Amino acid sequence: MTTSKHFVLLVGGSGTRLWPFSRSFAPKQFIGFKLETTLIQETASRIQTLSPFSPLSDDKSSKLLAITHFENVHEVERQLAFLNHTNQIILGEPERKNTLPAMAWAVAQISLENPNSLSDTLIAVFPSDHHIEPISHLKSDLDKAYELALEGFVVTLGIKPHVPETGYGYIQAGTPVKAGYHVKKFTEKPSLTKAEAYLKEGNYFWNSGIFIFTAQTFQTELKKHEPEIFYAIQKIIASQNNPEVLKSEYSKLKNISIDYGLIEKMGEQPGRVAMVPASFVWNDLGGWSSVFDILPKDENQNAQQGDIVTLDTHNSLLISKKGTLAAIGLQDMVVAQTDDAVLVCPKDRSQDVKKNCRTLKRKKSSCRGPSSNSKTTLGNIYRFRRRIVL
C-alpha cells in the first residue's frame, strides 16, 4: 500500500487574546515571541522537518495547504516564502466559518489533486499558532496517529494537563487501542470545578487541536454528520473555485468547529475517534500568561522583550515593541506596549483581554489594527512562487 502524507495549516483567529500585539488584520500567528520567526513560520518549519514534506524527500506528491481569510492570503504567502518546497497551496476563505468548513475545503482540494486513493491519503491538520517542542517527539506521536488513521479513525493528539485549565477542551480517554485510546467523551471548556475533577481523575487530556485522518474517513464522516457542508464544498470544487460560487456557497455554511460538527457526533459511535497522548511540550499561546510561560526569565522571574527598565518588579511579563518601558513595584503583571496602544493587567486576568477588545471594537478603537493594503481575488488558489487561477 502506497500512502501519501499532507499537511493543513489553519491560519485563522481574530487576534484578540494577545492584544495589542495581535489584531484582527494581524492575528497572533503573524507575530513571534520566543524566536526571530513568527508563530506561523515556526509551525511551517516544524512541518517541513516531518518526512515526506522535506525537500529531500522522494515523495513529491506531499502538499502543505494553508487556509486563511482572503484578506490574509498575501501575508501568509510572504511569511511562508522561505519554504523550499513547490507543493504548497493557499486557500482564501471569503468568510471566517470556524474550523470544520475550513478543513472541509482543504481536504476536498487535496483529494482533488492527489493521485492516491482517498483511503491512502493521510492528512494532518495543525493550528498555525502553537508552540511545540521537541520536533522528534511530535514526529513519533504522528507516526502512531497515522497507524490509527489508516484503520479508519479520526485521531487527535491529547495533552496531559498539569493545571485545571478552563480555557481548553478536554478529552476523556477510554479503552486502549494500539498506541492510543478510544475517545470516551469530549468536553468543551469546563467549569473550574469540573476541570479540577478531571485533573484528579487522571484520564482526561487537553484537546491540542491537531487532527489526523485519511481523506476518505473525513469525507465519509462529513457527509454523514454535516451533509450541507459536504455538498456545498463539493459544489465549490466542481466549479473550480469559481469566485461567485465560492462566495455564494460559503455564505450558507454554518459557523462550526470540527469538535462540535464531527468529533462529538462521531464519539457517539464507539471506536471511531482515537487519541494519542502527546509526548511533546505544548502551549497554545492563548493569552499573555502563556507567552510568559515560554519566555526566558531574569533573576527576578520577569520575562522581558524590548527596551525595558525595572525596579522592584517581579514575576511579570514586560514587552515593548517601540520605546522604553519602565516598571516600578510590579508583581505578577502584564505590560505590553506597541506604537499605538498599551495593555496593563494582572497576569491571572490576561484571558479577560478578549472581553476588553470587544469594548474597544464598539468604540471603534485600535483592536482591529491597520487595514490590509493587499488586494486578493476570491476564487484564486495560490501556489508559492507561482500563482494558478482556477
Clarify whether residues 123 and 178 are in a common domain: yes
Q: 147 and 56: one domain?
A: yes
Whole-structure pTM value? 0.87
What are the C-alpha distances in Å from 175 to residues 78, 213, 316?
Answer: 45, 20, 42
- Find the CATH number of the domain harbouring 118: 3.90.550.10
In a domain, 38, yes or no: yes
Q: Does residue 68 sit within a domain?
A: yes
Residues ≥6 apart with Cβ < 8 Å to 162: none
Residues 153 and 83 in one domain: yes
The answer to whether residue 368 sits within a structural domain is no
Residue at 370 is within a domain: no
> Is residue 369 included in any domain, yes or no?
no
CB 242 within 8 A of CB 377: no
Dihedral of CA 87/93/98/101: which sign?
A: negative
227 and 358 together in one domain: no
| Domain membership of residue 355 as a residue range | 288-362
Residue with cell 484564486: 380
* Cβ–Cβ under 8 Å, residues 7 and 103: no
pLDDT tens-digit profile, the chain (390 residues): 688 899 999 998 766 788 898 877 777 888 887 667 889 999 998 888 885 554 444 455 678 899 999 988 999 998 888 876 667 889 999 999 999 999 999 999 999 987 678 888 999 999 998 989 999 999 999 999 999 999 999 999 999 999 898 888 899 999 999 999 999 888 888 889 999 999 999 999 999 999 999 999 999 999 999 999 999 999 999 999 999 999 999 999 999 999 889 988 887 666 689 999 999 999 888 889 889 998 999 999 999 999 999 999 999 999 998 899 999 999 999 999 998 899 999 998 888 888 887 777 776 555 655 444 444 445 555 544 433 333
User: Which contiguous run of DSSP H or E holds residue 322?
Assistant: strand 317-328
Q: Do 94 and 218 fall within a single domain?
A: yes
Q: Are residues 248 and 230 in the same domain?
A: yes
Cα torsion through 34, 38, 42, 44, rounded to 10: 180
- Total domains in the chain come to 2
Question: Is 160 in contact with 277 (CB distance < 8 Å)?
Answer: yes
On whether the CB atoms of residues 39 and 12 are closer than 8 A, the answer is: no
All cell numbers assigned to 25: 488584520
Do residue 351 and residue 260 come from a single domain? no
338 and 226 both lie in a single domain: no
Quick one: 300 and 165 in the same domain? no
DSSP output for 230-256: HHHHHHHHHTTS-HHHHHHHHHHS---
Are the C-beta atoms of residues 220 and 119 closer than 8 Å to each other?
Answer: no
Same domain assignment for residues 169 and 314: no
Longest distance between any two alpha carbons in the chain, whole Å: 64
Are both 280 and 294 inside the same structural domain? Answer: no
Residues 242, 119 share a domain: yes
